[in-house]
């Protein structure tokens, strides 16, 4: 019973973290963004925490999905 609830919770948090990220840091910034930042942009403070949190949540979601297949 805890697996589906945790998957839904992690999925909602992952969606929120992805939406909170800056728009120019993705592919849209490479194709049509301003040339001030260039291709590489350093992340600092809250933006860095959101970036790493997104990575951690994606890994946790993948692990939970694999557990759902095994169990």
Model confidence over 24-71: pLDDT tens digits? 555 555 555 555 555 667 878 888 999 999 999 999 999 999 999 998
Dihedral angle of Cα 15, 19, 20, 26, to the nearest 10 degrees: 120
pTM summary value:
0.73
CA angle, 49 as apex, 48 and 51 as ends, to 5°? 65
Q: How far apart are CA 61 and CA 10, in angstroms?
A: 6
Q: How far apart are CA 11 and CA 7, in angstroms?
A: 6
pLDDT exceeds cutoff 60 at 22: yes
């Amino acid at each position: 019973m805890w697996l589906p609830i945790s998957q839904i919770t992690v999925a909602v948090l992952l969606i929120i973290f992805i939406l909170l990220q800056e728009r120019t840091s993705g592919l849209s910034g490479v194709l049509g963004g301003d040339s001030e930042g260039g291709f590489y942009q350093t992340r600092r403070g809250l933006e860095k925490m959101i970036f790493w949190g997104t990575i951690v949540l994606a890994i946790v979601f993948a692990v939970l999905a694999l557990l759902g297949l095994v169990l």
